[in-house]
Structure formats: C-alpha cells, structure tokens
Structure 1
Amino acid sequence: MPTAADRVTPKRALISVSDKTGLIELGQALAGHGIELVSTGGTAKALREAGLAVRDVAELTGFPEMMDGRVKTLHPMVHGGLLALRDDAAHVAAMKDHGILPIDILVVNLYPFEATVARGAAADEVIENIDIGGPAMIRAAAKNHAHVAVVTEAGDYGLLLETLAANGGATTQDLRTRLAARAYARTAAYDAAVSAWMADHAGEDVPHRRAIAGELAQSLRYGENPHQKAAFYIGGHARSGVATARQLQGKELSYNNINDTDAAFELVAEFAPDEGPAVAIIKHANPCGVARGASLAEAYRAAFDCDRTSAFGGIVALNQPLDAETAAEIVKIFTEVVIAPKVTAEAAKVFAAKPNLRLLETGGLPDPAAAGLVWRQVAGGYLVQDRDNGRVQASGLKVVTERAPTASELADMMFAWRVAKHVKSNAIVYARDGATVGIGAGQMSRVDSARIAARKAADMAEALGLPGRPTEGSALASDAFFPFADGLQAAIDAGATAVIQPGGSMRDQEVIDAANAAGLAMVFTGMRHFRH
C-alpha cells in the first residue's frame, strides 16, 4: 500500500489536448474529486460546453493566447506551478512571492505532427503542427514527478482515475513515476518524428544524429528463444502488414511468428493483385515455396509442392483475398500463421475448425517500391540503410549469351528474380511455370546454394512420385554474381536452361562461356539483392 508520504492530493489540473477522446469524462471525474480545472482554447471550450467550471490559462498567466496560439503556456505561472518542489521552503516562498499556484496534474497530448506528415500535408502545415508548449510542459511535469502527475495519452486516463478513486483522491508515487517515464518516451518519440521530417525536408540523407521510436503493440512471451525477453513495437513508415493486421483467430503471435510473417507478406507483395493470384510459404524467414496460379488455391498447391517438408509449421501469405477453396487446402497440414489482405467469411469458417491457427487480415499489401529505412544493431551502434526497393524490368535486362531467353524462360526468370530478393544470401532460386521448384538459402558458398536447391527439388520430386527433375527446363536466379563458373555448372547439371544474375564478376566471361557451351540463355540485371 502507498504510504502517506507517497500520496499527493491534487488541487489543480491543467488540461490542454488535441485529441478530445475521453476529455469530458476525465474532466467530470477530476471535478468530482474537487480538483480545479485549468485549460486552453478548444479544450476549455469543450469542457465548458459539458457544464464544467474551467479557468483559462490566460487568467492564470495574465497574458492572452497570442501568435495564433503559438504562445499560451510558455510562462512562469505555468512552469513555476509545474516545477516547484512543494517540500522545498525556498520554492514555496517563491511561489508565494510571485502568486504562482501549484499544478498537480498535467494532461497534455501533442499536436498531431505524425498524422499530419502521414497524410502528406504541405511543409507550412507540418511546421505549424510542431508542438512547443506541450513538450515543454510535459518535460517539466515529468521532471517534478515527486509532486506532479503527467498524462500524455487518452489511454492512460483510466490509470489516473483508478488511482485517484483507490486512494481517496490522491495520486501515488508509483503512478507518477510510471507516468513520467511514459511522458519522456512520448516526447522522445515526438522529437524523433520531427527530426526525421526536418532532415528529409532539408535534403539530409545522412543526418548527424538519428533517433528511432516505437509504440508498444504487444508484450511477447519471449524472443527467438525462451530465455530472451521480447516485445513488439510499431513505428516508422506506415505499411500494411503485421503491424496493421487484425488477428481474426488463433493463439497470440510470438516473436518468430511476427518476424516470419513479415518476411512472407513482404515477399508476396512483390506480386501485385492485378498480376494474378500469388502465394508465398515461409519457414524461418526464408521462402520454401512461392507460386502464381490461375487461382489462389492453384498457386498454394504449386508453392506447397516446392518443399512440402519445410512447409509444415510454416507461414502462408497471399496477395489477394483468402477464399474458402484456398483455406481448405491450407488446413490440410499444420500451419502457424496465414496472412492476407482480406479474408472472406467462408474462408474464416474453414479456419474456425483450427482454433490455434493464427489468421491475420491486413486490409492491403505493402508497396514493395516504397521508400523507408532498415535498422540493424551492431555492438555499440546501428547500421541504417534504405529498404531494398530495387526493381528490374525485362526491358532493362542485358542478354550476354549467344542465345536469348524464350518468352516463357523470361517470365520464369523475372519470377525467380523477385523471389530471390527475399531469400537469405547466398540465394539461388529455380523456377518453372510461375512456381519455385528449388530454393537454396543462406549458404557460405554460392555453388552450395545451387546444389542444395537442386537436391531439394529432386527429393521433392521423388517424394511426390514425379517423373524427371523439377529443375529440368527451369530458370535460375542468383541474388549476386557467380564468382566462378562452378556455380553455373551446378545449375547446368540440374537442367536449368536460363539464368538471371547481376553480373559484375571479374570472371563474368568465364561464366558466359560456360553458359554458351551448354546452350543456356543468360541475362544480367546490373542489380544485386544481398539479404543477410
């Protein structure tokens, strides 16, 4: 139980909010505890219209709001009331000498800067939504949390009111400390958003300092392994995906679920819905099957047949609304997560029979060409880079062999290239008829990736009782150049007839000569897709 020394019985609350959610209920509850309400502008107007007695900040400071509201709370009467130590005789004397009234509760949510930027507002409007007085008050109140409770989000109103109700109208030190920590995190996130926009506005690609912030979306049971603590935060550029998804059913998402589901959805988004149905199956952040088809069900079956063993317990991502026929195929094996832009009611009914299966509906696909930043921690620092949103078009390919690819080979090349971008390096992808037939991922040697992919394809064919090798007549994509001809020879041995790769090796000619000797068609993209 809080001790008497921990408790502060508030006499006055200053409320100034952009988001009016829950404002009236908050004002009524505070007034019910005998707390005087002080407010500004639209907040004061809303409280008065609800029948509450409100004192204007201008009355407190002796100065009117001015400069279109830019100056209203930046005043010693406000900041003295927030910062004064109630148990310091000199502070108390200063308050008395200057007629400063203590402010025991501060409720401020900031101008909607992030939302203004997100909707593409012009620079002048964005700048006007940079809050100055709000962060200054929040930081002052949070610093003085020994005496002042500060609330920055409507979601925390309940926490404040519950504490007041449970403690005879008093706040506790535990509450004030928790709220202060949240307050500083909020102003830090706000400043991070402002600084990122300002750097972009100034054309600074590599600013002197970078800040990153996120909002807790979910506390996780553990991280990659049970001994690691973990949580899921939302922040950065808004993109459709796991962060925007609505979970329709299933167990709570784990750290690995979120990581793998993101990888699956980013991959399947490479295939726009108007290009036709596409399905990606992911295991441990690597694709084990990707395919296009006349229907989602057909695409799923083709993706599944690439590596049925690895697909068990995997993640399935779709680029079009999930239908009942496809759902019926998916539930034939154990699947961890299914993610789609939409889920039909009929498909949801099919999944209802598998209550542990996690079903996510995102409302859209992430744009694979969208700009953004990727962060990675290293010891003592961070690596920051642009998202890999590079795309190649068929018209930009350079044919380097005597034989040019046929139309069907070119289609499979382009398909395999899009998939290879999402396979851990060294990456090799064999594709035929719009489906992966062999994937080699994450090997230290490119030739090993080519051989592993071919071997997995052969193993799958044997398991399915298929005649011949699936890689016979396939197109191969390599995420980076072949440093030697041995990797290409592995593709030749597997029966591939066309190869797409970045080119740029000192031994390109040796590789081209080997392709010509085998009658292969090979094209260079001039772009690589390392993924570590």
Structure 2
Amino acid sequence: MSQDLKKMYRTVMDDHFPEELSIRFGHQELVYRKRTWKFPDDKTGELIEKGLRYGENPGQEAALYELISGNLTLGDCRFIEPKRGLVSAITEEDMVQAGKHPGKINLTDLDNGLNIVKYLMDRPCAVILKHNNPCGVAHGQTLAEAYARANRADRIAAFGGCLVLNRPLDKTTAELVAQNYLEVLAAPDFEEGSLEIVKKRANLRIIQVRRMDRLEEYRHLRFVDFKSLMDGGLIVQQSQLCAVKGPQDLKLAEAVHEGKTYRIQRMPTEKEIQDLLFGWYVEQGVTSNSVLYVKDLCTVAIGTGEQDRVGVAELAVYKAYRNYGDALCFEKYGLSYKELERAVETGQRPRKDREEIDAAVREVKAGLPGSTMVSDAFFPFRDGVDVGLRQGVTAVVQPGGSLRDWEVIEACNEAGATMVFTGQRAFKH
C-alpha cells in the first residue's frame, strides 16, 4: 500500500478535460484554453505534453485554463480581460525547472502568494505558503533578509511550501533557500549564478513570473469567482477588492452604545500604521476565520480556518510560542523543538536544554509584545481582542461593525492599545 501511494504521488495523470472551455453569461462569452507543457518523460526521456500533475490528491484529474477571449461586463463591473495571465499563462520557458511537475495545489499556492504580494511591492518581500495559506510573510531591507524572516516566522509549516519572491533571486537569497526543502520557488527573474544554486534541489519547481513588475495593477481588477457545489450547481461572485489603499483608509475606532460615544484614545504611531497596513494586506490571502499577529513588517503567527474568533486568536498565540521556541532551538542546537523534546525524553540531552528554551520564549512572550493584531471580521465580544492584549499587542486592525464594538474599544483603551477600523470584511473561503 505504501509503495502504491508513493507511485501515485509521482504519476503525472492524463486528463480528459477539453482543450477549450467556454462560459456564457447571457450574450457574453468567456473562452478559456487548457494549459499544457512539454517535458521529457522521467523514464524514457521522450518529450511528452501534459497538463497538471493531478488535482488536490493523486487520482483526481485536473486542468488549468487560461482566459483567452471575452470581455465580461456585468452591471458597472468590467472583469479582468484576456492577456493578463499570471499563473495560468506559465509556459515551458517560465518553468525554469519542472521538478516533479506541478499539480493543482502548487499553482493555487503560487496564485495566492501573488494575491498577497500585489499589495507589498514597494520593498523586498517573501511569502511562504502551504495549503493555500501563508505560513510566513516578511519585508526586508534585502530579499535575503525578507526570506530569512519569513522562514523564521514558521519554519515548521514552511517545510515543503511554496515561496514567492517579489524581486529577482540573487545568490545570497538562493544560498538560504537551498538550505530548506520547498516544493515551489517563484520569482520575477534570476540573477546570474542563482539558478545553479537552487537547481541542486532536483524536485524543486522553479517558476519565473514575468508580469510581476506590473502586479500592483491587479489590486484593482476583479475576476469571476466560482464555487462548485456537490450537486453540480455553481455559486458565482465577484472577487473582492481591498478598500484599504493607504493610511487614510484606516479609521480610528469609534462606536455609539446607549447614547454614549466610545473612541480609541491613542493614535497609532507611524511604525504601528506600517504594521497595520502590512497585516491587513497579508490578511487578504488568509482563509477565514483568521487572526494574525505581525511585528516589524513580518508575521509573528497566523491563525486560520477556525469557527470562532476567540479560538483562532488563541490558536495564533499558541503558534507564536511554538514557532518562536522552534526558531530559538534551531539557532542554538541545530534541532527543531520537537527533536530536542524527544532527545530530552530519551535521555540523549539534558532536561535543562529544553527548559532554557522554554524560559527564553516565556521571557519575551514569543515576541508578541509590541505586535499588531489583525482580524478579518469584527470581534463579536471583547474576549477575542483580550487574547492579544494580554500578550502585549499594542495595535489592532479589524473591520468594525459589531454591536459590541464599544466594549472592544474599552478593552483597547484599558490596555493602552490603539485600534483602527477598515470598514470592510476580509472573509476568504
């Protein structure tokens, strides 16, 4: 059974989806072309043409389609037009190294990475994703610093992830990337000598995204978002446009309750504003319900996919402590925290080694003091924001709109924290 599964993972499936797909909206028609690539067969070396490796799991046929014709306008919304392909337009030339041949998840991770990076193009940025959610996102003075910070934010989840860079890969960054196991590496270009370094990872899929210099344009473009139902039905919606363009769109939290006006007493500092914006832009690519903590233009922890807001706030705190301890452990002993834990349990290392790491994490509260808390929807009760405030959060960004906004404002004022409203929810399902 184990060998059969391994073989399935390595099999590039044939698919039976048509070469062309068309969708009609009344009298308007969108036309899509299936994307395939020609690569040498692993065993025979013969040139073969294939589409996606498989879908979300081995045994699921899948296909990638690029919009090639049709200019859809519904109401006052003109949707994205052909010839703007990013992931759907990847060619053999862009597939610098095919690795194990891309599957659905590899490309949806890349797509969501670009969805986040489009807001963060003003300075070097690295986004590492796993299962269509970011694990770590960071800016840096250099690309290497951005990658190192994003990787350190959650080394555990980054293993086998998809890395999206918004600057050409340089040799310094390549050396860092080559030390870790990734499934996908995407960048706008590759400086001389960098490819030779990362190509040593034979299974790594290396992809050039040529339109990345124009990525900011996509902030203002809508696409048609399809959700397929198990009965064969469809739900169709416009994609969301982020209403926050800059600091001017962050409104100091204010609410009225029983005739009394509640206001945040402290304005955010310039540093907090930068983190508030950074966190809100990262939030655009995180599955709901979610709460993030960010600090110094880097994610501290990302809580995602929970059903209750206080629970996801607590989950993100847990991940912050876990990730910080793991990073310290790796830097000090060259081991993951779990490896150290087992070594202590089996008597291979002294118990004090783990206790020192734990004490160091507790001393700084996993780096959470001074961080910004980001919530994709309002806090229905103050218990959610209290989770972050107890850890030393000093700034909060959320949509606002709860009947209990007043008590969340009071909680922030009691803690000396600031809070801003975006006036727009950021659910992503």
Question: 2: CA distance between counterparts of 1:220 and 1:381?
Answer: 24
Tell me which of 278, 281, 284 is aligned to 1:415.
278
> How is 1:173-252 mapped onto 2 (pairs within 5 angstroms)?
189=22, 208=26, 212-218=30-36, 219-235=51-67, 237=81, 238-245=83-90, 246-249=94-97, 250-252=99-101
Among the aligned pairs, what percent are the same residue? Answer: 38
Task: Indicate the structure with greater helix content.
Answer: 1
The aligned residue for residue 349 of structure 2 is none
**Which position in structure 2 is the counterpart of 1:345?**
192
Decide whether the 8 Å contact of 2:243 with 2:249 is kept in 1.
no
Which residue is equivalent to 2:391?
494
Distance 2:96 2:106 in 1: 15
SS in 2 for 1:214: strand
Deviation at 1:391, TM superposition (A): 3.3
Cα deviation, residue 425, structure 1: 0.3
| Runs of 5+ unmatched residues, structure 2 | 1-15, 37-50, 69-80, 254-263, 329-359
What code does the residue aligned with 1:214 have? Y
Note if contact 1:265-1:339 (Cα within 8 Å) is conserved in structure 2: no
What is the TM-score normalised by the length of structure 2? 0.74
Structural mapping, 1:196-345, within 5 Å: 208=26, 212-218=30-36, 219-235=51-67, 237=81, 238-245=83-90, 246-249=94-97, 250-272=99-121, 275-345=122-192
Of 252, 271, 279, the match for 1:399: 252
1:50 corresponds to: none
Distance 1:473 1:221 in 2: 44
Select between 362-371 and 485-494 the one with higher mean Cα deviation: 362-371
Question: Partner of 1:453 in structure 2?
Answer: 316
Any idea what the Cα deviations from partners look like across 1:465-503, whole Å, max 9, x if unmatched?
365122111011111111111110111122211000000
Larger relative contact order (Cα-Cα within 8 Å, sequence gap ≥ 6)? 2
The root-mean-square deviation of aligned C-alpha atoms, in Å, is 2.1
Structure 1 regions of 5+ residues with no counterpart? 1-177, 196-206
Instruction: Summarize deviations over 1:257-300 as a string: whole Å, max 9, x none.
Output: 1111211122122212xx11011000000000000010110000
Q: Secondary structure at the match of 2:119?
A: coil
1:436 to partner: Cα distance: 0.4
Q: Which letter maps to 2:423?
A: G
Q: Which residue of 2 aligns with 1:168?
A: none
Aligned partner of 1:372 in structure 2 is 223
In structure 2, C-alpha distance between the alignment counterparts of 1:477 and 1:370, rounded to whole Å: 24
Q: Indicate the SS of the match to 1:364.
A: helix
Distance 2:27 2:383 in 1: 45
Q: Which amino acid aligns with 1:351?
A: V
Q: Does 1:515 align with 2:404?
A: no
TM-score if structure 1 supplies the norm length?
0.60
CA distance in 2 between counterparts of 1:405 and 1:241 reads 36
Runs of 4+ more than 6 Å apart: none
Q: 2:402 aligns with which of 505, 508, 519?
A: 505
* Deviation (angstroms), 1:352: 2.1
Letter in 2 for 1:430: Y
Residue 471 of structure 1: aligned partner: 368
Q: How far off its partner does 1:380 sit?
A: 3.7
Cα separation, 2, equivalents of 1:228 and 1:361: 26
Mapped contact 1:499–1:522 kept (Cα < 8 A): yes
Q: Given that residues 288 and 439 in structure 1 are in contact (C-alpha distance below 8 angstroms), is that contact kept between their aligned partners in structure 2?
A: yes
After superposition, give the CA deviation of every residue in 1:17-70 in whole Å (9 maximum; x if it has no partner): xxxxxxxxxxxxxxxxxxxxxxxxxxxxxxxxxxxxxxxxxxxxxxxxxxxxxx
For residue 368 of structure 1, report the CA deviation from its aligned partner.
2.3
Q: Can you list the C-alpha shifts for 1:174-199, whole angstroms capped at 9, x where unaligned?
A: xxxx9xx97xx76x74xx5xx6xxxx
Q: Within 1, Cα distance between the matches of 2:281 and 2:53?
A: 34
SS at the partner of 1:220? coil
Structure 2 CA distance for aligned equivalents of residues 391 and 295 of structure 1: 29
SS of 1:288 mapped into structure 2:
strand
Write the deviation string for residues 330-372 of structure 1: whole angstroms up to 9, x where unpaired: 1111100011111223211111211211100011223222232
Contact 1:240/1:363 (CA < 8 Å) preserved in 2?
no
Q: Verify the 8 A CA contact 2:35 2:89 in the aligned structure 1.
A: no
Partner SS state of residue 231, structure 1: coil
CA distance in 1, matches of 2:86, 2:390: 39
SS at match of 1:360: strand
State which structure, 1 or 2, has the greater radius of gyration over its C-alpha atoms.
Answer: 1
TM-fit CA distance, 1:308: 0.4
The amino acid of 2:103's aligned partner reads S
C-alpha separation in 2, matches of 1:223 and 1:298: 34
Tell whether the 8 Å contact from 2:293 to 2:371 is kept in structure 1 after alignment. Answer: yes
Does the 8 Å contact 1:244/1:362 carry over to 2? no
Q: What is the aligned partner in structure 2 of residue 441 from structure 1?
A: 304
Deviation of 1:423 (Å): 0.5
Tell me if the contact between 2:109 and 2:130 (Cα under 8 Å) persists in the aligned partners: yes
Measure the CA separation in 2 of the matches of 1:517 and 1:446: 21
Q: CA deviation at 1:209?
A: 6.8
Aligned-partner residue type, residue 189 of structure 2: K
Q: Summarize the alignment of residues 72-83 of structure 1 with structure 2, pairs less than 5 Å apart.
A: none
Give the deviation of 1:208 after TM superposition. 4.5
1:149-200 CA-to-partner distances (Å, cap 9, x unmatched) read xxxxxxxxxxxxxxxxxxxxxxxxxxxxx9xx97xx76x74xx5xx6xxxxx
Equivalenced residues, count = 333
**Cα distance in 2, alignment partners of residues 210 and 260 from structure 1:** 30
Q: Could you say which residue in structure 2 is the equivalent of 1:129?
A: none
